[in-house]
Structure 1
Amino acid sequence: MRVYALCPQVEHAPRTLEGRAVLDMVLGGGCIRTGFAGMEGVDLPALADRLPDMDRDVRTELALALEAGLMAGMSKKKSQALSST
């Protein structure tokens, strides 16, 4: 029997309509805070403007979880790039 590791995009995919909506808005552009170093996080006010009908607490919790995952992924990618040079 073969055991396959789950694809991160499948393993960490949103499990609710609200989660999918937040992910779509952030990845669609306009909801990312950027600075000199690139992405700095999720722009919560911009996300609130795009998803005004979603419960504020739910929207914030999902956005912060997404932000943590994005930042962790970017940090891992940067570390891998530095270690391969």
Structure 2
Amino acid sequence: MNQALIIWKLREVMARYKIKSKELAAELGVHPNSVTNLRKAETMPRLDGEALDNLCNALNKLADREISLMELVTHVPNSRN
């Protein structure tokens, strides 16, 4: 039995709104490599509520629009054999 996955779509969101890793890193106050690692993750990384809130707020500011949490993730149900 496969596990259900929460697919992380930060890379797509950043591309859609033309947000660069360096810009997001500066807004979050982290090293650009941290954003690169987050962007490259295929499944949702473990982020606490504060970190996720900070990420959403930074994305909203840089995109100049409201980006919902649902834009960042997609649920892929498990498949049963």
TM-score, length-normalised on structure 1? 0.30
- Structure showing greater radius of gyration is 1
Name the structure with the higher helix share: 1
TM-score, length-normalised on structure 2? 0.31
Q: Which has the higher contact order (CA 8 A, sep 6+)?
A: 2
